[in-house]
Structure 1
Amino acid sequence: MANEKLVTSIEDKLWAAADKLRGSIDASKYKNIVLGIVFLKYISDRFEQRYNELIAEGDGFEDDRDEYERFNVFYVPTEARWKSIIEHATKPNIGQIIDEAFIAIEKENKNLAGILPKIYSGADIDQRRIGEVIMVFENSNTLLIEEDALGRVYEYFLGKFAFILGAGGGEYYTPSSVVKLLVDMIEPFEGTIYDPCCGSGGMFVQAQKFVKAHGGSTFKLSVYGQELNAETRRLATMNLAIRGIESNLGKTHEDTFHSDQFRDEKFDYVLANPPFNISDWGQDSLLDDPRWKWGIPAKNNANYAWLSHMLNKLKPSKGVAGIVLANGSLSSQTAGEGTIRIKFIDEDVVDCIVAMPDKLFYTTGIPVCLWFLRRGKKRKGEVLFIDARDMGVMVSRKLRELTDEDISLISETYHKWLKNDGYEDEVGFCKSASLEEIQKHEYMLTPGRYVGVKEIVDDEPFEEKMEKLVSELSDLMSESSVLDEKIKKSLGAIGYEF
């Protein structure tokens, strides 16, 4: 509990300090400034902890890089350690000190080469504000923060920045409630997990949380991801490092369709929130690609290219994928998309479809859906449909979140159905449909077509209801009459007569 309160305090103070930067530089830039300092503080703390352990052991290995690497700790050279940063925090060249610190860290840790932001000495950066952000950590005694707590600070900032950047820059972040639902449903206990458009790595972070929460070993889960945007890939690398998650994000930032970094790999799990409805994804140069075994995806929409790519990436006998997509993917007949969907269904790889509520994302207010594809299905010849459109609570005027209760209800319903243990169809919420039923609906996968409409129970006697309605109508008519008189008087005062 003490750690939770401390984290909240640091979040508030850091955000207040970071907010002061907004007047002079673009939000996307001060995002990198703040998150870079969070990362620097974390790896320095972990290094100091391991360094002190080695000193206490007295074997003289405190400068041996291997003694840090085998504990998944980055080696931080003297000039880049937090003590050195603090000494320069109030000096006018603090930005240059941090840039040089990141350069030194990259030289010592090849897997961070080209990843860390060297932007602190820019002419448009207020050096005094940078010092204020640094001092928030120093004044909050953050050495007491456990590993996961500082990771939560980082995640908090990713979400806050995504909210501010909105449709212009929140693509790297999938809301945590959506990620939690995906992970709870596919249950990635061990094996390989892949995200072909991994953003800031949120899917991997939540998968690790899931494994820990269920008493598993995170060392049994191997992480693979690819990201097109270079800046976003850097965010993912730092985010995963803070969590102590070893990952393979490919050799560099690349387009998954045109330069698949894991061309010959198959995975146990796929988790992804690909960009919705991409219109120019380069179909022309990929017409003969072997991934399109179910049909060539539409030229002007990449939704089925993503679905086909991810289905192709699953291990043939047991792989499972959880994918966020626009609702149009459930019923589109455009440019062969309906034909591809028919093949998915007839091949019996569609396991579950969940219709989600609107306003879940920072980047768009449209409702989305979750596709669950599974190789080696347990419920052969059936698809589970869940209608969750009425779930979630509004946390702001434009943003909704799923509650923990919502997530539990949806995931538990799915797992009861998978195990055939206590599952029952519920009108308006869930329905297990046979392939024959889906064929009758012309292979449309919109959950509302299958679950039906929940009956509204109304036990109030007709006579009482009519009496109440008549009374309400009478009151409204009286109010209307009073308003009419006020309007006539007001208009009469300026020369209008009735």
Structure 2
Amino acid sequence: MINIRKLEAELWESADLLRAGSKLTSNQYCMPVLGLIFLRYAYSRYKKVEEEILKNRPSRGGRVIPVEASDFAAKSALFLPKEAQYDYLLNLPEDVKAAKLKNKAGHIMTSLGEIVNNAMQLIESQSEQLTGVLPNSYTDFSDEILSELLRIFNNNSLDEVGGDIVGRIYEYFLNKFAKNIASDDGVFFTPKSLVKMIVNIIEPKSGVLLDPACGSGGMFIQSGDFVNQSGMNANSAMTFYGQEKVEYNAQLCLMNMAVHGLTGVIKSGDEANTFYHDAHNLNGSCDYVMANPPFNVDKVKSESCENAKRLPFGMPSVNAKKEIGNGNYLWISYFYSYLNDHGRAGFVMASSATDSQGKDKDIRESLIKTGHVDAMISVSNNFFYTKSLPCSLWFFDKGKSKEIKDKVLFIDARNYYTVVDRTLNEWSEWQLKNLNAIVWLYRGETKKYKKLLTEYHTALDSKKPFDKQVRELSDKVKALRAEAKKAVENAEKKDKKKTQVEYDTKLEELTDILTVAKEANWLYEKFGDGVYADILGLCKVANRNEIKEKGYSLTPGAYVGVAAALDDGVDFEERMAEIHRELLSLQAESNDLMDAISQNMKEMEL
């Protein structure tokens, strides 16, 4: 997360450069900057894949056979011609005009803008789905600004941060500079945690995957990774379809997929408004549907929705103006309707939709009676990057086994997460696996659960009981903290900082291992060697009669109850030390801000 924050700060710096050096609007400069980030990220992936290809590369006449575009295609990666590689652009001669470099068409280029435009064209020639998608307005910027932007984005954080980075950065721009683009209620980037949770529970293997509100393509990227990690090739096994009303988002989706070596059919604009159009004619044909649609959209034209069909349970409430006041149950109906007779769906939805009344309740009752509602997960506040709102994850499965056909798994995960900072929460990799494990046990997939226990023992390099490991590691952390305090106090003044850093590194490593042990113990103390059990305050499997008694509510909290308050196992001294460090950090930020304000006041001569 630190790397992303650092990158965001540098993006802000780049935007300042653009504002100062050009007269472009935020909409106009958003895509060119994202294009440069795309180039840098594409280059990072290119180098990693190239390294893999060269590992066992045969040689001829004592020379290693050069890599080709087909080698990268086989690895589901984007091939970059030399003139489109980031280091080539960084190391151009200062006097570009004098270098007499030629573009793709053979014409001499006279500015850095032309060279970057040419790089984009060369990449488009490598990927049919990118044709006409990448920015090509770099001649609008001076060579000085472009050169500085290239330098800004040349940092290691882009090599280290995985996942849907383009979407994350895009949202940063929306939030800071182009709020008019994000004016539609409920339009915001889907956090990686939620995307991974959806993909992990859906378990895509092969077939047709549709995201009818695809944004920057995070569902496709994560699904591709999931399929590739299972030993198959995502492009061969899956067919990706997307709809996205906002054309900016669709461009980013195609860029994002290309960077990850994925191909797909993405439609955008009015024809891709999912409320009114099934742009790919996929109703009843999808193996998988995944989405984070805009929540609580109003003023949706009811007649257009009715004409578009995909409403197996009828229309939500319509007002006198023939408008639907809340589009949540349109989305829910569409997702169900797109599935084939064994399809699975997973999507993010406003928490209010789990027990909304009126026509919504009637639709929900009909949906529950199909037996195809699989699981419901409540998510806490602060999972979204720019919005502080709770949500729910819904899962449908038309191919449920007979044993659970009449049942729904409810998980209340509102108290289970990792705090990233004061405004952002997420699920760690181990927490994602633990929540996934509950679903496995509900489905009777005990082998997967036992494999996870083995994974924990391997990560901890010990077969001791998890609770014992937690106690031992906690004692070690406490002892190391005391040792660090003494060592720093006794160190020479010039060595204090170095000593502190050395111990901080050791403490961080040991604390990370303790965290893994705590997560292992959290899971094992609830489900032992692999037997599902309803856990008060966490999970409950309810049958259809129980759901009927609750008024056909799908709110997990209505079923799981509230767990008794227990000792949370937090080390008081450890937590106080964390709070103290956070207060010091906030105080430093405050001091810096006051200095900046004071300096500004002086400059304004006030």
TM-score, normalised to structure 1, is 0.76
* Cα distance, 1:440 vs structure 2: 0.7
SS of equivalent residue, structure 1 residue 287:
helix
Equivalent residues of 1:44, 1:76 under 8 A apart: yes
- Structure 2 counterpart of 1:453: 562
Equivalent residues of 2:246, 2:268 under 8 A apart: no
Kindly tell me: are residues 210 and 49 of structure 1, through their superposed partners in 2, closer, same or farther at Cα, counting changes over 3 Å?
closer
- Structure 2 counterpart of 1:385: 410
Structure 1 letter corresponding to 2:332: L
Determine whether 1:21 maps to 2:40. Answer: no
**Alignment partners' CA distance in 2, 1:349 and 1:175:** 26
Equivalent residues of 1:310, 1:321 under 8 A apart: yes
The number of residues matched between the two structures is: 444
Unaligned 5+ segments in structure 1 are: 459-498
Determine whether 1:87 maps to 2:92. Answer: yes
Structure 2 letter corresponding to 1:415: W
* Cα distance, 1:332 vs structure 2: 0.9
- Stretch moving more, 298-307 or 256-265: 256-265
- Stretch moving more, 149-158 or 358-367: 149-158
**Alignment partners' CA distance in 2, 1:366 and 1:172:** 12
- Structure 1 counterpart of 2:131: 113
- Stretch moving more, 158-167 or 400-409: 158-167
**Alignment partners' CA distance in 2, 1:432 and 1:276:** 27
Instruction: Identify which of 390, 399, 415 aligns with 1:376.
Output: 399
* Cα distance, 1:369 vs structure 2: 0.4
The Cα offsets for residues 230-280 of structure 1, whole Å up to 9 and x where unpaired, read as 111000000010000111214767212323221145111111100001112
Structure 2 letter corresponding to 1:21: L
> Sequence identity, in percent?
30
Structure 2 letter corresponding to 1:295: G
- Structure 2 counterpart of 1:248: 265
- Structure 1 counterpart of 2:367: 344
Structure 2 letter corresponding to 1:357: S
Instruction: Identify which of 275, 279, 284 aligns with 2:294.
Output: 275
Kindly tell me: are residues 84 and 387 of structure 1, through their superposed partners in 2, closer, same or farther at Cα, counting changes over 3 Å?
closer
Determine whether 1:413 maps to 2:470. Answer: no
- Structure 2 counterpart of 1:494: none
Kindly tell me: are residues 352 and 140 of structure 1, through their superposed partners in 2, closer, same or farther at Cα, counting changes over 3 Å?
closer
The Cα offsets for residues 466-498 of structure 1, whole Å up to 9 and x where unpaired, read as xxxxxxxxxxxxxxxxxxxxxxxxxxxxxxxxx
Kindly tell me: are residues 8 and 43 of structure 1, through their superposed partners in 2, closer, same or farther at Cα, counting changes over 3 Å?
closer
**Alignment partners' CA distance in 2, 1:326 and 1:138:** 38
CA RMSD of aligned residues (A): 4.0
- Structure 2 counterpart of 1:102: 120
- Structure 1 counterpart of 2:306: 287
- Structure 2 counterpart of 1:35: 34
SS of equivalent residue, structure 2 residue 272:
coil
Structure 1 letter corresponding to 2:39: L
Structure 1 letter corresponding to 2:369: D
Kindly tell me: are residues 440 and 447 of structure 1, through their superposed partners in 2, closer, same or farther at Cα, counting changes over 3 Å?
same
* Cα distance, 1:215 vs structure 2: 3.6
Instruction: Identify which of 425, 428, 439 aligns with 2:537.
Output: 428
Structure 2 letter corresponding to 1:323: F
Equivalent residues of 2:351, 2:390 under 8 A apart: yes
The Cα offsets for residues 440-459 of structure 1, whole Å up to 9 and x where unpaired, read as 1111111111111112248x
- Structure 1 counterpart of 2:385: 362
- Structure 2 counterpart of 1:177: 193
Structure 1 letter corresponding to 2:223: A
- Structure 1 counterpart of 2:246: 229
* Cα distance, 1:301 vs structure 2: 1.1
Determine whether 1:322 maps to 2:346. Answer: yes
* Cα distance, 1:119 vs structure 2: 3.0
- Stretch moving more, 274-283 or 401-410: 401-410
The Cα offsets for residues 164-195 of structure 1, whole Å up to 9 and x where unpaired, read as 46976673521111111111111112222211
**Alignment partners' CA distance in 2, 1:135 and 1:273:** 34
Instruction: Identify which of 261, 272, 288 aligns with 2:279.
Output: 261
SS of equivalent residue, structure 1 residue 87:
coil
* Cα distance, 1:21 vs structure 2: 3.0
**Alignment partners' CA distance in 1, 2:93 and 2:27:** 25
